[in-house]
Amino acid sequence: MSMDENNRPLSPHLQIYRWQLHMVMSILHRATGVALGLGTIFLTWWLMALAAGPSAYETFTTVASSMVGQIILFGFSYGLFYHLLNGIRHLYWDAGQGFEPATVRLTGQLIMVISFAATVGTWLAAYYLLGTL
């Protein structure tokens, strides 16, 4: 590879543009994807502990139900809802639909609100069923 190839001018990158909703959402889609990828390690631990036996499972639940564990799980659940909803929007785009600027803005705003509401609703439901709420 010649030196010239590395020094070619670049097209304007992130820091050039004003921050906009669809830009934040695009980045967030990948960020939540990577975060959920890391979350699969937690998922693996859960299933392996369950398969290993009661004492291994107790170690898992102690960590998962601790304050730090619950905050991490809350984060994963938000990432899941966001990635899931925005993923549906991506599939809708793949079908060639919903590209009008007003529609893009509306579906984007809806996803920002619903993903957060679904996360909070899920945790309220879980704590309610646990009887701690």
> What does the binding site for another protein look like in residue numbers (CB under 8 A)?
30, 33-34, 36-37, 40-41, 43-44, 47-48, 50-51, 54, 57-58, 77, 80, 84, 87-88, 90-91, 94, 122, 125-127, 129-131
Pick 80 or 101: Cβ nearer another protein: 80
Other beta carbons within 10 Å of 76: 19
Nearer to another protein, 40 or 103 (CB): 40
- In the structure encoding, which two tokens stand for residue 42, read together? 């937690």
Q: Which amino acid is at 22?
A: H
Nearer to another protein, 42 or 102 (CB): 42
Q: How many whole angstroms separate alpha carbon 116 and alpha carbon 58?
A: 30
Q: Give the list of residues 6+ apart from residue 66 with CB closer than 8 angstroms, or none.
A: none
Alpha-helix runs per DSSP H in the chain:
3-6, 21-52, 54-64, 67-94, 101-130
**Closer CB to another protein, residue 101 or residue 131?**
131
